[in-house]
Amino acid sequence: MDLLASGQMAAFFSSGICIGLGAIGAAIGEGYTAAIANQAISRSPERSGDILKNMLVGQAVAESASIFALVIAILLLFMDVSGNGGALKSAALLGAGLSMGFGAMGAGIGAGFPGGQACLGISRQPQATSALTTNMLIGSAVCQTPAIFSMVVALMLVFINLGQMPAAPGWAALLGAGLSTGLAAIGSGYGGGLAAGASCEGIARQPKTVGQVTTTMLVGQAVAQTPSIFGLLVSFILMFKSFEASSALAPAMGLLSAGICMGLGGIGPGIGNGMAAEAAARWVARNVGKSDVLMRLMLVGQAVSQSTAIYAMVVSLVLIFVV
């Protein structure tokens, strides 16, 4: 096959994967926001103006993950790969599409939860409208971080200088780098959204607790982001470590497998940590006197749930550095 043509082929294929996968999450998240907004308006039709405004703001934030995917997809469509084709470039471009496509999923779905719960909250507690909108914006902005990590990795893969890298096993390292951050971002984005949604619900129930609830949400979300940070770390190692050229299959499979391992392994702990943070934020609002006990329990529970992400990282690092 003509190597120059293969670079262009990879760019087009990757562009399709990127926006195809990237469109899933935001659409679900925004649909959830709109569904709950309808519920809220049926509860209190007289506040439909505020609720509609809040719904649109929330959906706009949830949209950003898929806009990142659109940007990368358009970049891949129109970039010039004629001068520097080859297997390595093809792998880098494919990795970029996979990273951004998967990476936008969780953040898009997750950012829908605070949007919906803030709408419902406005129908319950109209005087807390501004507190709810602010908390929604903070919560859904933090949900976007895994999608931003994915975009950073995608951009690095598109523009990386492949000068020194051997084609084999370099192709597997670049593909693995994309998968690692992309897949790991799914859980963190979704989990962060669960926490943000519950905090909006809690503020609507007890507007006075807004300080403690937002703090619990942010701490919980920060811990839920760790699996995606592990994913980012493995991606960076795969992109920048120098590998010995080898035509054998095993070293390449080891590097690809390291990316898949960390990527898949980050999904569960991200969601689990988000669930713990969700319950903690919800119950801090209802029982604010015990916020310190709840925060402590949340952190212990999250630490245990994190352990499998750490196992996955250990196996990834063994695959990269030891075997």
| Cβ atoms of 151 and 72 closer than 8 Å | yes
Say which residues have a Cβ less than 8 Å from residue 312's Cβ, sequence separation at least 6: 230, 261, 262, 264, 265, 266
What is the footprint of other proteins within residues 223-242 (CB under 8 A)?
227
Write the interaction track for other proteins spanning residues 248-277; mark x where CB under 8 A is met and - where it is not. xxx-xxx-xxxxxxxxxxxxxxxxxxxxx-
Interaction pattern, residues 161-180, with other proteins; x per rule: CB under 8 A: -------x------------
Find the binder of other proteins among 161, 278, 317, 321 (CB under 8 A). 278
| Minimum distance of other proteins from residue 297's CB (angstroms) | 6
Candidates 21-29, 31-39, 56-64, 309-317 — which segment interacts with other proteins by CB under 8 A? Answer: 309-317
CA dihedral 261, 266, 269, 274 (to 10 degrees): -170
CB of 228 to other proteins, least distance (A): 13
Q: How far is the CB of 253 from other proteins (least distance, A)?
A: 4
Say how many residues touch other proteins, by CB under 8 A: 65
Q: What does 160-218 look like in DSSP terms, one character per residue?
A: ---TT--HHHHHHHHHHHHHHHHHHHHHHHHHHHHHHHHHHHHHHH-GGGHHHHHHHHH
Residues 42-61 that bind other proteins (CB under 8 A): none
CB < 8 Å & 24+ apart, contacts of 35-39: 35/116, 36/115, 36/116, 36/117, 36/119, 36/120, 37/115, 37/116, 37/119, 39/120
Using the rule CB under 8 A, is 305 a contact of other proteins? yes
Q: Which is nearer to other proteins, 99 or 306 (CB)?
A: 306
Which residues make Cβ contacts (< 8 Å) with residue 31, sequence separation at least 6?
112
Q: Which is nearer to other proteins, 18 or 309 (CB)?
A: 309
Query: Are 255 and 235 spatial neighbours (Cβ–Cβ below 8 Å)?
Result: no
Chain contacts with other proteins (rule: CB under 8 A): 168, 183, 187, 191, 227, 247-250, 252-254, 256-276, 278-280, 282-284, 286-287, 289-290, 293-294, 297-298, 300-302, 304-309, 311-312, 314-316, 318-319, 322-323
